Structure 1
Amino acid sequence: MITDTILKVENLSKQYRLGTVGTGTIGHDLNRFFAKIRGKEDPYLKIGESNDRTSKGNSDYVWALKDIDFEVKKGEVLGIIGKNGAGKSTLLKILSKVTGPTTGSIKYNGRIASLLEVGTGFHPEMTGRENVFLNGAILGMTTKEIDDKLDEIISFSGCERYIDTPVKRYSSGMTVRLAFAVAAHLEPDILIVDEVLAVGDAEFQKKAIGKMQDISNSDGRTVLFVSHNMSAIKNLCSRVVVLENGTVKFDGETDKALESYLARDIETNHSVFFKKDDKKEKMVEFVSVNLKNQNLKITKDFSIGDTLNIEFVVRNNSDEIKIESSVQIKSNEDVPIFHIMGRDSNYEFSLDKKEESFVVSIEDIRLFPGIYTINLTCIGLSGLQIFDNIDDAISFEIIDGGKYTTRYLPKAAGQFFLNPSWKKL
């Protein structure tokens, strides 16, 4: 049966044991052995908790991945996103055969090249040129293949001047340039790229994304791309898998995947309360935040033209009485939209009580329909000391055009809705 599926992952799971001993004790190994010879299931596969790094569990075993299923078509660019600790790197290491799965299977048809860490397989004492041959051989290229592509690899990396200099004298950016150049010119059927592109500068990131698009569009090869750069994910990927606590939260169209990833569990008539770090008390810290509209109703849904009231509570654990606070709003591609501070409006924050409540009101909000997130920061007046910073503290959605228009406003049409005057000359 002919199929265009190049990679198929079925019921893939990976379990780790927490603590200083990573593979288990002798007693555990014996229990596994006796279960195996009796034809029984591994007893430790029945225990274990989800991979939620923010909470303390009761088991020594954790599922870094649990029952992962997805297929990748030939020529598809698949994005894999999720918070830190969601299981992205574990999944890529299993796909790259760096480590094996606990249960499940992977079926693929073709050669796989991986770029998981900066300069993996590079020898610091060898020159860039020598490392091209070494790294190419590790990735499965023949000497003739490397010879034929050597000039192209060096040119793409932008390291011509230093190609005969030992890699130990390279910056991390130069190293990742050369490493990516080798992997990209391997002509694999499947190219796996982790967040390493974040090390490169903006010019190289644009160049690398263009190369990955060429690999997919022109050559019909498959790319698996992991990144926290939502703009790169949106520009490059036709489909995205969202991982959360080791499981697949969403698998589908890129725009919907980004909304699923960036949306927070914020329910109407509920505030978001932040966990207190008992190990390290902050001088000044955020306690909670909620959003209200012009009718002072707590909500996460707004229309163009509404008033967005951001109410937050600050706790003072010191003698500090003067602070500065800022609010940043970002799009669902993680792109900053605007950043506001109290000083912009000649407002001075004064902490006279143990806990103080503040509100910043953005009237006549003109953001296009979509999901937006809010970052909160509290700093000293000098700007040199950060008391508290909470990324993605809360999110909200602009759902329609509100009082200004009844036409359909596509989410990808822009960031701001304007309503200027029109006239015929």
Structure 2
Amino acid sequence: MPTAIQVKNISKAYQLGQIGTGTISRDLERWFARVRGKEDPYLKIGETNDRTSKGSSDIVWSLKDINFDIKQGDAVGIIGRNGAGKSTLLKLLSRVTAPTTGNIKVKGRIASLLEVGTGFHPELSGRENIFLNGAILGMRKKEIAAKFDEIVDFAGVERYVDTPVKRYSSGMYVRLAFAVAAHLESEILIVDEVLAVGDAEFQKKCLGKMGEVSQGEGRTVLFVSHNMASVKQLCKKGIVLDKGNIGYNGSVEQAIHFYKEQGTVQENKDLKELIKVKHAALAIDQILINHKQDALIELNADQHNLEIEINGSSVEPLQLNIEVKIFTLEGVLVSFYSPAHLYAEIVTIGPGKFSFKDNLRLPDNFVNGEYYINIELDYPNMERYLTTDGISLVKHGRVTATGKEITYNDFGFFLINRNGK
């Protein structure tokens, strides 16, 4: 198969604080170097992309010396922890921003779904935005009209298609944006982790559609997600990013294994380092699990409780729900907790300081092994306010009379209840 995307020696640097060299002549030299495709003569050598420590330079390399080729028709999963450079890479491939050094060759048109709020004009209706996006891709009005009913039906927004998209919920916005990107005629489809905003049924539809465009239509798909089960289901190949560098590039099974092994032990990390705040009104001061800030949680055989406390502030009232998901190292979801789904409870916080607490009880037959916990604050099926990435859980179990230690391979899916219910 011909090469759809070729990435050669790309790096991306961002300057912290005030931008500028201090003199007009130096700024002109910097601009002229960029026009000629040369390296910035005043670029300082800075640190790698590591959010867990503060560097001394005012330049941060979000990506450094990235090289890979993607063949036409490949479905490739881009995985890595928060701050690894995944979103920056997709923005470079989508030509939203330019690399500091290196070059990218792309064969074909690109449809990108990078984050909620991009790609649509908020004042235009859903109908107008569909035609606008098709025109940007170079399609004729007749070609877009032929796909229109299919797009609207897939997104499930028939009733609101003539309403300005600024009045859409986050879930509606993402459903329509994905439907437009997937159904219009582009050779390359790039999807960031925004699909997590949609409900489970729509996520399933999206994965099915991406599999269809990759395998059935021969289009190239790049998919970023923290859900390893979805990545494994859709993709044949995987690229793992680690602090702005490529840690692994190969089969998706080995990529997932590398990613999980890379983060199995979080002993030296604070839980706050794993938080990604998704709402501008929200600020997090502290997160505790079982009264500790450690990102590695160990439970003995007789321990079943997870006490979660999140302290912070919000400049506006927010209605929210907590979701706790526990995955095996292979990315299989084995346990789920959500008061909104289990007890029809939604909590209101803010404005001002808040302390959100909940006490979960794992099932008594939750057996020993290593797991990952993801915690989210959200409004169900509408908007995510906060996510965490890869908290490690080690459950120590009992040895049976025969000497066999039971592992998680021997059990299925559990709903987690609140302690006392």
TM-score, structure 2 as length reference: 0.68
| Cα distance between partner residues in 2 of 1:118 and 1:374 | 24
| Cα distance between partner residues in 1 of 2:192 and 2:296 | 35
* Corresponding letter in the other structure for 1:63: W
- Give unmatched runs, 5+ long, in structure 1: 295-306, 313-326, 340-359, 377-388, 417-425
Report the alpha carbon displacement of residue 197 of structure 1 after superposing the two structures with TM: 1.1
Query: 1:351-406: CA deviations, max 9, x gaps?
Result: xxxxxxxxx9x9998568xx633679xxxxxxxxxxxx9864446699xx99778x
| Cα distance between partner residues in 1 of 2:287 and 2:219 | 50
Cα distance change on mapping 1:286 and 1:338 into 2, 3 Å:
same
Does the alignment pair 1:26 with 2:23? yes
The 5-angstrom pairing of residues 237-386 of structure 1 reads 237-264=235-262, 272=268, 274=270, 285-286=291-292, 330-332=327-329, 333=331, 335-337=333-335, 372-373=371-372
Pick from 66, 69, 72 the counterpart of residue 71 of structure 1. Answer: 69
Pick from 221, 224, 237 the counterpart of residue 223 of structure 1. Answer: 221
Report the alpha carbon displacement of residue 18 of structure 1 after superposing the two structures with TM: 0.6
Report the alpha carbon displacement of residue 65 of structure 1 after superposing the two structures with TM: 0.5
2:318 aligns to what?
A: none
Query: 1:224-281: CA deviations, max 9, x gaps?
Result: 01112222112111111111111111112222222222235667xx96464899x968
Report the alpha carbon displacement of residue 202 of structure 1 after superposing the two structures with TM: 1.4
| Cα distance between partner residues in 2 of 1:168 and 1:293 | 46
* Corresponding letter in the other structure for 2:6: K
* Corresponding letter in the other structure for 2:372: T
**C-alpha contact (below 8 Å) 1:128/1:167 kept by paired residues:** yes
Report the alpha carbon displacement of residue 127 of structure 1 after superposing the two structures with TM: 2.0
1:173 aligns to what?
A: 171
**C-alpha contact (below 8 Å) 2:82/2:389 kept by paired residues:** no
* Corresponding letter in the other structure for 1:60: D
Report the alpha carbon displacement of residue 29 of structure 1 after superposing the two structures with TM: 2.5
| Cα distance between partner residues in 2 of 1:38 and 1:255 | 41
2:59 aligns to what?
A: 61
Report the alpha carbon displacement of residue 72 of structure 1 after superposing the two structures with TM: 0.8
Instruction: Give secondary structure in 1 for the equivalent of 2:292.
Output: strand
| Cα distance between partner residues in 2 of 1:168 and 1:175 | 9
Instruction: Give secondary structure in 2 for the equivalent of 1:263.
Output: helix
Query: 1:66-112: CA deviations, max 9, x gaps?
Result: 01111111111001111221111111111111111111111122121
**C-alpha contact (below 8 Å) 1:114/1:191 kept by paired residues:** yes
| Cα distance between partner residues in 2 of 1:289 and 1:38 | 46
2:50 aligns to what?
A: 52
**C-alpha contact (below 8 Å) 2:296/2:393 kept by paired residues:** no
Instruction: Give secondary structure in 2 for the equivalent of 1:104.
Output: strand
1:147 aligns to what?
A: 145
Cα distance change on mapping 1:177 and 1:290 into 2, 3 Å:
closer
Structure whose CA Rg is larger: 1
Report the alpha carbon displacement of residue 34 of structure 1 after superposing the two structures with TM: 8.9
Report the alpha carbon displacement of residue 149 of structure 1 after superposing the two structures with TM: 1.2
| Cα distance between partner residues in 2 of 1:124 and 1:36 | 33
- Give unmatched runs, 5+ long, in structure 2: 274-283, 307-323, 338-360, 376-386, 413-421
The 5-angstrom pairing of residues 91-170 of structure 1 reads 91-170=89-168
Cα distance change on mapping 1:293 and 1:149 into 2, 3 Å:
closer
* Corresponding letter in the other structure for 1:331: T
| Cα distance between partner residues in 2 of 1:242 and 1:414 | 29
**C-alpha contact (below 8 Å) 1:11/1:67 kept by paired residues:** yes
Report the alpha carbon displacement of residue 55 of structure 1 after superposing the two structures with TM: 0.9
TM-score, structure 1 as length reference: 0.68
**C-alpha contact (below 8 Å) 2:62/2:88 kept by paired residues:** yes
| Cα distance between partner residues in 1 of 2:50 and 2:216 | 40
**C-alpha contact (below 8 Å) 1:266/1:272 kept by paired residues:** no
| Cα distance between partner residues in 1 of 2:170 and 2:37 | 50
| Cα distance between partner residues in 2 of 1:26 and 1:375 | 47
Instruction: Give secondary structure in 2 for the equivalent of 1:286.
Output: coil
* Corresponding letter in the other structure for 2:327: K
Report the alpha carbon displacement of residue 130 of structure 1 after superposing the two structures with TM: 1.5
**C-alpha contact (below 8 Å) 2:123/2:165 kept by paired residues:** yes
Report the alpha carbon displacement of residue 220 of structure 1 after superposing the two structures with TM: 0.9
Pick from 202, 210, 213 the counterpart of residue 211 of structure 2. Answer: 213
